[in-house]
Amino acid sequence: MSADQDDCMSRIEPLFKVLHDALHDGMGFYLGKYSKKVLAQHRDRTAANCVYDHAFHNLREQLDGEPGCHFLNRRGLEVLNYFDLALVRLKKVNGAGRAQNLRTKQQRDYDDQKSIPGLPDAAVRLIVGYQPDAAFSFVERVIVSRPLGKTIRWTAQIVVADDASKWFDITPDRLAGTEAVDFDSVRRRS
């Protein structure tokens, strides 16, 4: 656990349950409400898009109009801005908390924690993702990740039980001595 992770997770702590439920319910709605035939015809990309839309809709329903919650859309990049403290983007992620993205400049800037017109500079850019099981039949984990270029600085898992929510550091171990290199995303790209 790093000081940065501790700080970022504490910024969005009040949202843990809403985020967790939005993603779980999004997956549940997708698998439960569409006909089996339609689901069978969906490719993974479509499935992920549908879950995303339902999850994001859930999030909007829960938080739109709540103090400090603003939904922003900058050229297709949809995020929840929470008190200018954190920007939350929903994604499907793998076990390492990594999401697949089209590497546009805007996307790279988001991942590199850089300034993007219309988004508050002070807010940390986070990805809150759902990790499906191998057969895409349920959500295994809800993972918060702090992107850094093409890699991940840290990941945390949100766990909700009996209305109490917690987070755990699940950052994969890095090779000793590479931590600093990982952080230097600018140098990595140059």
Partner 1 sequence: MSEDRFNADMLKLARDAREFTQADLAKAAGVTQALVSKIENGLIGQLSDDTVEKLALAVKFPPTFFYQKERIVGFPHFHFRKRAKLGIKATAHIGAIINIRRQHITKLLRSYEIVAAKPIPQIDLDETGLTPEKVAERLRAYWMLPRGPVVNVVELIEAAGGIVVLCRFGTTLLDGISFRAEGLPPLFFMNRDVPGDRFRFSLAHELGHMVMHSSPDDDEKMEDQAHRFAAAFLMPAGEIKPYLVAPKLSSLGRVKAYWKVSIKALIKRAYDLKLITDNQYRWLNVQYNKAFKTGEPIPIERETPSRLREMVQYHLNELAYSIADLAGLLSVNANDLERAYIPRPGIRLVVSN
Q: Which residues bind partner 1 (CB under 8 A)?
A: 36-37, 39-44, 47, 132-138
Smallest distance from partner 1 to CB 42, Å: 6
Residue closer to partner 1 by CB (options 48, 88) is 48
**Rounded Cα gap, residues 151 and 66, in angstroms:** 32
Residue closer to partner 1 by CB (options 2, 46) is 46
| AA identity, residue 98 | R
Residue closer to partner 1 by CB (options 13, 133) is 133
Residue position matching structure tokens 């898992």: 157
Smallest distance from partner 1 to CB 16, Å: 26
Smallest distance from partner 1 to CB 86, Å: 29
Residue closer to partner 1 by CB (options 71, 136) is 136
| AA identity, residue 5 | Q
**Rounded Cα gap, residues 189 and 68, in angstroms:** 34
Closest by CA position to 142, among listed 107, 83, 90, 77: 90
Residue closer to partner 1 by CB (options 54, 146) is 54
Specify whether the CB–CB gap between 91 and 99 falls below 8 A. yes
End-to-end CA distance of the chain: give it in Å, rounded: 29
Smallest distance from partner 1 to CB 26, Å: 16
Task: Measure CA 53 to chain center.
Answer: 14
**Rounded Cα gap, residues 127 and 110, in angstroms:** 10
Residue closer to partner 1 by CB (options 42, 188) is 42
Main-chain dihedrals φ then ψ at residue 156, nearest 5 degrees: -140, 150
Smallest distance from partner 1 to CB 31, Å: 8
The sign one gets for the Cα dihedral 153, 190, 76, 116 is positive
Smallest distance from partner 1 to CB 160, Å: 22
